[in-house]
């Protein structure tokens, strides 16, 4: 993979740290699960699901699944996991993205999403999808996706639980002009 670096704007420091991206390794698993627990938004069943996803990733290496870690100041501070959307032409899902709470709002999530988008654009991706919840505790997460250009494409009421709806965010890739998404807005 190509590496990406970013100078982070830390307040009151004359030498801001840099962040770098790399593929995750099996030794990262405990740290990634720690980040998921620290995020404070996921249910135990979702943490369990992430554990199973990582086990599967390291044991079987599913084709075209990507798990990237973002390191800063000597530790993994954020990660992203994305994979093809089954039975679609050029559809991809961003399944997981998590930043350590103390590092949130400092650009790591944006760095990871932008890197994913560049890589998928190179591979001819057509549509990027993200699923999340409508619960208030995900409000900042939804703002994050909106700020990055993802639009609410669908809502499935009471999907996760009563009053916990599924919202699908979508973004078309620039490399596919002439589609229904050509205006840059979903129709
Ligand atoms: C959503 C998330 C991955 C964003 O990562 P990040 O490293 O904070 O993202 P960035 O610093 O690049 O961007 C911050 C932007 O995201 C939003 N944001 C989301 N959570 C935020 C937080 N806790 N602090 C500050 N900004 C946050 C803001 O809109 C902010 O925009 P702004 O810079 O214009 O104010 C991160 O906040 C997180 O881990 N949230 C909890 C886990 C989660 O919900 N994951 C997604 C579901 S799998």
**Residue 62 sits in which domain range?**
18-172
Average pLDDT per consecutive 10 residues, the chain (187 residues; last block may be shorter): 66 72 97 98 96 97 95 96 96 98 95 96 95 97 98 98 97 64 34
At residue 17, the pLDDT reads 77
In a domain, 187, yes or no: no
Which pTM was predicted? 0.89
For ligand 1, the distance from its centroid to the CA atom of residue 59, given in whole angstroms, is 30
In a domain, 182, yes or no: no
In a domain, 178, yes or no: no
At residue 21, the pLDDT reads 95
- Ligand 1, atom 41: nearest CA belongs to which residue? 39
In a domain, 61, yes or no: yes
The full DSSP string for the chain is ----EEE---TT-SS--EEEEEE--GGGHHHHHHHHHHHS---HHHHHHHHHHHHHHHHH--TT-EEEEEEETTEEEEEEEEEEPTTSSSEEEEEEEEE-GGGTTSSHHHHHHHHHHHHHHHTT--EEEEEEE-SGGGHHHHHHHHHTT-EEEEEEEEEEETTEEEEEEEEE-TT-TTSTTTTSS--
At residue 65, the pLDDT reads 97
In a domain, 8, yes or no: no
In a domain, 80, yes or no: yes
**Ligand 1 within 6 A of CB of 112:** no
In a domain, 156, yes or no: yes
**Ligand 1 within 6 A of CB of 144:** yes
Q: How many domains does the chain have?
A: 1
In a domain, 7, yes or no: no
For ligand 1, the distance from its centroid to the CA atom of residue 128, given in whole angstroms, is 18
The CATH number given to whatever domain includes residue 129 is 3.40.630.30
**Ligand 1 within 6 A of CB of 134:** no
**Ligand 1 within 6 A of CB of 169:** no
- Ligand 1, atom 16: nearest CA belongs to which residue? 144
At residue 174, the pLDDT reads 74
Is residue 18 within 8 Å of residue 72, measured between CB atoms?
A: yes
């Amino acid at each position: 993979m190509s590496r990406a670096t970013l100078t982070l704007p830390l307040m009151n420091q004359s030498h801001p740290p840099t962040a770098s991206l790399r593929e995750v390794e099996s030794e990262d698993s405990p740290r990634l699960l720690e980040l998921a627990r620290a995020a404070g938004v996921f249910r135990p069943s979702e943490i369990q699901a992430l554990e199973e996803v990582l086990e599967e990733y390291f044991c079987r290496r599913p084709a075209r699944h990507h798990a990237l870690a973002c390191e800063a100041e000597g530790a993994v501070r954020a990660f992203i996991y994305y994979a093809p959307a089954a039975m679609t032409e050029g559809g991809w899902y961003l399944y997981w993205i998590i930043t350590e709470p103390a590092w949130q709002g400092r650009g790591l999530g944006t760095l990871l999403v932008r890197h994913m988008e560049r890589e998928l654009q190179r591979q001819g991706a057509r549509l990027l999808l993200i699923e999340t919840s409508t619960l208030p505790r995900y409000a900042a997460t939804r703002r994050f996706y909106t700020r990055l250009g993802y639009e609410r494409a669908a809502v499935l009421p009471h999907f996760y639980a009563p009053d916990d709806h599924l919202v699908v965010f979508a973004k078309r890739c620039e490399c596919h002009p002439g589609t229904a998404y050509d205006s840059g807005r979903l129709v």
